[in-house]
Amino acid sequence: MPISIENRLLAYRLTKPLQWPTSRIIAIPRPTSFVGPGAALRLCTMIGQSGATRVMIVTDAVLVKLGLVEPIRRKLAEAGIDVAVHDGITPDPTYPVLTAGHEAVRAHRSDAILAIGGGSVIDAAKVIDAMAVSGKTPQRLVGVMKVGKPMLPLFAIPTTAGTGSEVTVAAVVTDPVKHAKSAVIDPKLVPMATALDPTLMTGMPKPITAATGMDALTHAVEAYTNLWPHKETAWHAIAAVRMIFANLPRACEHPDDLEAREAMAVASFYAGLAFTKAYVGYVHAFSHKIGGMYGVPHGLGNAITLPYVLEFLQDQRWAQQRLADLAVAIGAGSASEAKSVLAARFIERVRELNRTVGIPEKIDALRTDDIAHIAEAAMIEAYRDYPVPKLMTLAQAEGLLRRMAA
């Protein structure tokens, strides 16, 4: 007899506290970071000095066409490295895309991997690396601590400021048959070193700049409002929120503003550090399901969903206090004001930021016939995986989705 959804959620709720000690015990490495204009080439110099002899660049065809990859490939070659380029990564990489990347690494006999691209590319490089050392398929790697063996040296150069994948323990993969996203989670996935180079981000179109920037904001806000705080995650989350509010509109309106681009890259990095320990929440649970079902870009899904979820959380005592903290951090009020007022004001500032950078308020692709299924899948993910501050019922989840539907 199948277990009802209500009983599944209850079981996840009862076992959730057992995960808290584990989250504090597991050591998570932190990549060496090169920051600023020219950081990508400085990282290449370090890779050349590290002993790597056969490096596979994992990227996408658009970045190759734009000419962003060639200077990096050339710099590695000048260091005497045999460099190959695999540019077959697509948004939301599927199992076949990952398998093709693994075959390229194996054919080249690579002894290190350099990811150049956005979150999808870096996530793909992580899983390809794990496949190369473990011999496992992507399906067998989905879950927690499944890599097993030490990874090939992995390096990352993000070309978007949003996912924080260059510093996190997770990689998201897509099942092309079920149209569902899953995560590979293992501390071994954290790259050895990364370059936050704003010169590689100046050509990013405004819609991508906006969506990825709001993705980073979502990481920071969910990490800060969750129930499993760590000492360092609070600082990283608040710093990221401050930097995003101050710099995302500038980066959207003035794409060549290197100072704003660099600040956004660092904010994304900080947000990644925060959520890889404190986790995310309902926004991601909804966005993963909507993205997998309709192909809505992850950052855009997060951006639209974030204020709706914060409205649901704002009357819970812990979440209200944390949202009030964030309001004060961005200069939207003083600590002497009522927490409820500050929390509501922060949510309105999130909506204002969305409007300023061109994020819509609704998800056009969302079909009312799918709402019950999405709500159930999202609640399973949230109850199972995230230390959210307030439990949402299936009815509340469905109501939230209906408000988001165009």
For residue 155, CA distances in Å to 40, 128, 194, 268, 310 come to 10, 13, 6, 17, 35
Answer whether residue 13 shows pLDDT above 70.
yes
- Looking at the structure, tell me whether residues 146 and 277 fall in a common domain: no
Place of tokens 């080439």: 41
* 2 backbone dihedrals φ, ψ, rounded to 5°: -65, 150
Please indicate whether residue 28 or residue 108 has the higher confidence score (pLDDT).
108
Give pLDDT, residue 11: 80
Same domain, 233 and 188: no
pLDDT digits (tens, 9 = 90+) for 361-383: 999 999 999 999 999 999 999 99
Q: Are residues 195 and 344 in the same domain?
A: no
* Residue 148 shares a structural domain with residue 226: no
The domain boundary, picked from 130, 165, 200, lies at 200
Question: Quick one: pLDDT at residue 21?
Answer: 63
Region of poorest pLDDT, from 5-14, 162-171, 201-210: 5-14
Query: Is the predicted pLDDT of residue 14 greater than 90, yes or no?
Result: no
Strands lying side by side in the sheet with 112-117: 32-35, 193-196, 154-158, 112-117, 54-58, 82-86
Where residue 55 falls among pLDDT bands split at 50, 70, 90? very high
Read off the DSSP letter of residue 363: B
Contact of 287 with 178, CB cutoff 8 Å: no
pLDDT value at position 230? 82
pLDDT for res 98: 98
Q: Nearest 5 degrees, angle CA 330-CA 234-CA 18?
A: 140
Pairing mode of beta strands 170-175, 180-185: antiparallel
Least confident of 48-62, 114-128, 175-189: 175-189
Residue 82 clears pLDDT 60, i.e. is over it:
yes
- Structure confidence at residue 50 (pLDDT): 94
Q: Is the pLDDT of residue 27 over 90?
A: no
* pLDDT confidence bin for 179, thresholds 50/70/90: confident
- Split at pLDDT 50, 70, 90, the class of 231 is confident
| Tokens of residue 111, six digits | 């002894």
Residues 40 and 188 in one domain: yes
Same-domain status, 53 and 91 = yes
- Residue 6 confidence (pLDDT): 81
Q: What is the CATH number of the domain that holds 381?
A: 1.20.1090.10
Edge-to-edge, what's the strand order for the sheet holding 170-175?
A: 143-144, 180-185, 170-175
User: Within this chain, do residues 172 and 75 fall inside the same structural domain, yes or no?
Assistant: yes
Q: How confident is the model at residue 20 (pLDDT cuts 50, 70, 90)?
A: low
Predicted pLDDT at 1: 55
Domain count, the chain: 2
Is 17 found in the same domain as 61?
Answer: no
Residue 5 has pLDDT above 90, yes or no: no
84: number of Cβ within 10 Å: 16
Same domain for 45 and 163? Answer: yes
d(C-alpha 306, C-alpha 227), whole Å:
17
Same domain for 232 and 190: no
| Domain match, 348 and 258 both | yes
Lowest mean pLDDT among 79-88, 117-126, 178-187: 178-187
Joined tokens for residue 213: 């920037």
Enter the pTM of the model: 0.94
- Domain final residue pick, 200, 223, 244: 200
Domain hosting 20: range is 5-24+204-404
Residue 370: count of CB within 10 angstroms of its CB:
17
- Asked if residue 19 has pLDDT above 80, the reply is no
pLDDT of residue 140: 96
Give the pLDDT band (50/70/90) at residue 180: confident
Last residue of a domain, one of 140, 165, 200: 200
In angstroms, rounded to a whole number, what is the distance separating the alpha carbons of residues 101 and 107? 10
Interval 237-256: pLDDT, tens: 999 999 999 999 999 999 99
Quote the pLDDT of residue 8.
Answer: 84
Write the CATH number for 96.
3.40.50.1970
Instruction: Clarify whether residues 319 and 223 are in a common domain.
Output: yes
**Residue 23: pLDDT band with limits 50, 70, 90:** low
The 10 Å CB-count burial string (b at 16+, else e) for 160-178 is bbbbbbbbbbbbbbbeeee
- Mean pLDDT taken over the chain: 95
Answer with the residue of higher pLDDT: 17 or 150. Answer: 150
- The span from the CA of 406 to the CA of 393, in Å, is 22
